[in-house]
Structure 1
């Protein structure tokens, strides 16, 4: 029987220490788990992907302006349009899986068959209704967190759903991140906000001093309405750890240069506590093993975010494991270690259910693809030899990921201008 542990500061310190230790020890690139793809096959996959995406955008185009404000006017016309859009997207993703254009296993179909798109639709509809001023990228930022919680639901054989605490927690961090990352907001104001937020997270009733702060405090109260601090202390403690991590992460913007070890610790603490809170909101009570997996899951996702945001972080003076590198330095070692860590965290266990075993494969393959996409956008970040090594295991040439992203981004921007 798995031992269940209450969360406290000592336990949080242990999770950080064990996760960092696991990262340090993960040094073997998982070459034996990756299949090499010939160049002609990559080019064939690219042509198929490009045609499928072009066809999908052509089919979606008539619906985009109509659906722009569907959350405010949920009539039959919009409902029919939503159903048609979902059908078109599903068809495309199923064909990508069937032809194995991105993965050798039907991972995209797996997500859809378990209701990821339904949860996403429910989330977007609610977010747009409650705050029409939210930008699409802010909603997507929050939706990503919902999908992480959905993955934990699958991992632990729970049905996919969107609970009110899941929604509220996912919406917290576009608001708090925007406030804390805003260079126009003074350090004194940020500190005062963090002090008030800490009191609200502990269960105190405080009124917000601004519209955004009031919204944040309302979201916390929504979480507490299900997970009362006195009945679920570990759930509330996990969310308070997130706030602590956000405060610590402000050091990344200091002029004082942080060491690699400092930056790793901040990223691990920030990412690990984030998904740990996800896990407690999904399950309320976690075993030692579940806590560690959740923390490590969050840690490597944060490092992946740091890799993807390398240039933006460097421009803003935000120090991370990757933005700290000088222009002549390569990130071969850091990226190899990250990939090794992802595969180590997702190694199979005899106790894994069928869903858990498959989901670990999904997480490993999807995060590897995201790493390849980031490298494809910024090829200079690694050596030519390592670039070729990574590309050999990709279904397409790494540069093609940028082409796909640019095509999708242009389509979305043009659609927003039409609405």
Structure 2
């Protein structure tokens, strides 16, 4: 029922441009870019300054926390000043505990994959704040967050055949149902161990909805294979329904991993938040999805029509959902934090996929960005140059 309500809400949402957030002038953008360059330089210097002596490591980590606090206080881009002290401390503690657990679990796991999983830990921390629970990390949160890189990347790998993916999904579905499954390789062994982590915190008989929600996202994953290697046209396949199920279910699991159960309002918030994040991710990945013939709401139309109306619909859906959902009533700071970061994800994705939008639309969007288009397009390379991969690997290996 909630899925149908969200689908109807999406179709009712206007595709006209209605963004009313504060604009940033060219000179303000240049000022913010200089400020952000200073942050990048400080982070680069900090990572490179990691002492080899373990006795000096505690002070080095405290310096890092001071650097983070300074960034939060001065930040005018992600609106991180909206983070309340309790949430900030909880996220910091969760981050440290997660990184340690991830390294202990798989020392060879790439930093990019840790970052991908870390994003889900932060989403759970945000939900904990929304639902007024303690901000904390658990083995169940670790297990599910790590399933992101282990399963998503496997299913998105174009070098793995559709049949192999199908067989993997069949075995994984059985494991999620609590069946004993013989792993086929070391990779699957790790995947099943991650499920073990969830079961340790939430016994199946006591918390059935945790596993019902995990199976729901697995069903979404299986359906999403329909989006791979098959070029479709609108209405040929319910691509929007697949995105709603996959994205909504992913954050619904996050919600259930907080305390094992949710009320209807909390369920609805998780599903809506997950849906809009999924569509934003589809926008971010549109170029890669087109290249690999992965059909999403965005890639289905990209290159055939300008994506301006779809992006407007996503922006309007996000603003309306965040401004009016009961879960965020009376939580103005938290609402602004989540809404602003969701909008920034969408706006940055538009710029990084700007060949699929009209020039007029891109020019309009630029006014709401904290940086110039040229700066955003060069940001990834700048970060790679300034924060050297070897320095990050050195940090990971020594912690």
> How far did residue 370 of structure 1 move?
1.4
Aligned partner of 2:3 in structure 1 is 16
Unmatched tracts of structure 1, length 5 or more: 1-13, 68-72
Q: Does 1:306 align with 2:285?
A: no
> How far did residue 338 of structure 1 move?
0.3
Is the Cα contact below 8 Å between 1:348 and 1:357 reproduced in 2?
A: no
For 1:396 and 1:110, the matched residues in 2 are separated by 28
Aligned partner of 1:90 in structure 2 is 69
Q: Report the TM-score, using the length of structure 2 for normalisation.
A: 0.90
Within 5 A, what are the aligned runs for 1:364-379? 364-379=339-354
Q: Does 1:155 align with 2:134?
A: no
Q: CA RMSD in A?
A: 2.5
For 1:111 and 1:371, the matched residues in 2 are separated by 27
Aligned partner of 1:11 in structure 2 is none
State the number of aligned residues: 393
Aligned partner of 2:333 in structure 1 is 358
For 1:257 and 1:351, the matched residues in 2 are separated by 37
Unmatched tracts of structure 2, length 5 or more: 395-399
**Relative to 1, partners in 2 of residues 1:352 and 1:173: Cα closer, same or farther, differing over 3 Å?**
closer
> How far did residue 20 of structure 1 move?
1.3
Of 290, 294, 300, which aligns to 1:324? 300
Aligned partner of 1:136 in structure 2 is 111
> How far did residue 36 of structure 1 move?
2.3
Within 5 A, what are the aligned runs for 1:5-404? 14-27=1-14, 31=18, 33-63=20-50, 75-96=54-75, 100=76, 102=77, 106-107=81-82, 113-259=88-234, 262-327=238-303, 329-348=305-324, 352=328, 354=330, 356-404=331-379
Is the Cα contact below 8 Å between 2:231 and 2:293 reproduced in 1?
A: no
Is the Cα contact below 8 Å between 2:130 and 2:334 reproduced in 1?
A: yes
Deviates more, 1:280-289 or 1:31-40: 31-40
For 1:277 and 1:193, the matched residues in 2 are separated by 21
Deviates more, 1:332-341 or 1:212-221: 212-221
Q: Report the TM-score, using the length of structure 1 for normalisation.
A: 0.86
**Relative to 1, partners in 2 of residues 1:189 and 1:398: Cα closer, same or farther, differing over 3 Å?**
same
Is the Cα contact below 8 Å between 1:116 and 1:150 reproduced in 2?
A: yes
**Relative to 1, partners in 2 of residues 1:93 and 1:53: Cα closer, same or farther, differing over 3 Å?**
farther
> How far did residue 365 of structure 1 move?
0.7
What do residues 58-92 of structure 1 show as CA deviations (whole Å, max 9, x unaligned)? 343222xx68xxxxx9x444333322223223323
For 2:143 and 2:80, the matched residues in 1 are separated by 33
For 1:185 and 1:152, the matched residues in 2 are separated by 34
> How far did residue 172 of structure 1 move?
1.3
For 1:197 and 1:340, the matched residues in 2 are separated by 37
What do residues 1-38 of structure 1 show as CA deviations (whole Å, max 9, x unaligned)? xxxxxxxxxxxxx2221111111112166747412232
Is the Cα contact below 8 Å between 1:29 and 1:337 reproduced in 2?
A: yes
**Relative to 1, partners in 2 of residues 1:76 and 1:263: Cα closer, same or farther, differing over 3 Å?**
farther
For 1:201 and 1:84, the matched residues in 2 are separated by 42
What do residues 347-397 of structure 1 show as CA deviations (whole Å, max 9, x unaligned)? 24567464x332222111111111221222232222222222222222332
**Relative to 1, partners in 2 of residues 1:350 and 1:134: Cα closer, same or farther, differing over 3 Å?**
closer
